[in-house]
Amino acid sequence: MPARDFLESCPPNIQAQFLAVVKAVADAPPPSFSGGGYWEAMHGDMGGFYEVRIDGKSREHYRLFCILESKGAELGLGGAAIVLITGKQKPFRTKLSTADYASVKLLGSEYRSRTPRSVLR
């Protein structure tokens, strides 16, 4: 459960901010939720993923990668869902590596390969 492991490794205030953004998106899903810079649709090779962006006070960037399942009922999720895939942390003003993004895509592919989807609720 990479997303849970990532969240548990984050400082408590960062965890709380991530969960607040995910709840706000769930309460007013895109396109209703504009994101305010915290929720971003990814593009290019990362299309189909969304990223929650939180910046820590210790000059660290925290990123939580998600997938929206609008047809979650058909996939065994009971309804539309935001699925938390994994997260990454990086120093201020740096970029994640190609390998980092590849690991996110690999986890997303593994998740999408199953019907019903395997998730921890």
In a domain, 95, yes or no: yes
Q: What are the pLDDT digits (tens) for 28-67?
A: 866 666 667 899 999 999 999 999 999 988 789 999 999 9
pTM for this model (two decimals): 0.90
Give the whole-angstrom CA distance, residue 39 versus residue 18: 10
Domain count for the chain: 1
Comparing CA positions, the residue from 83, 77, 92 lying closest to residue 65 is: 83
In a domain, 108, yes or no: yes
In a domain, 119, yes or no: no
Q: Cβ neighbours of residue 83 under 8 Å, at least 6 residues apart?
A: 66, 67, 68, 69, 77, 111, 117, 119
Give the whole-angstrom CA distance, residue 79 versus residue 9: 29
Give the whole-angstrom CA distance, residue 64 versus residue 56: 13
In a domain, 35, yes or no: yes
In a domain, 96, yes or no: yes
Q: What are the pLDDT digits (tens) for 66-100?
A: 999 888 888 888 888 899 999 999 999 899 999 99
In a domain, 120, yes or no: no
Q: What is the CATH number of the domain that holds 92?
A: 3.30.2310.20
- What domain range includes position 47? 2-112
In a domain, 8, yes or no: yes
In a domain, 19, yes or no: yes
Q: Which helix (H) or strand (E) holds 114?
A: none
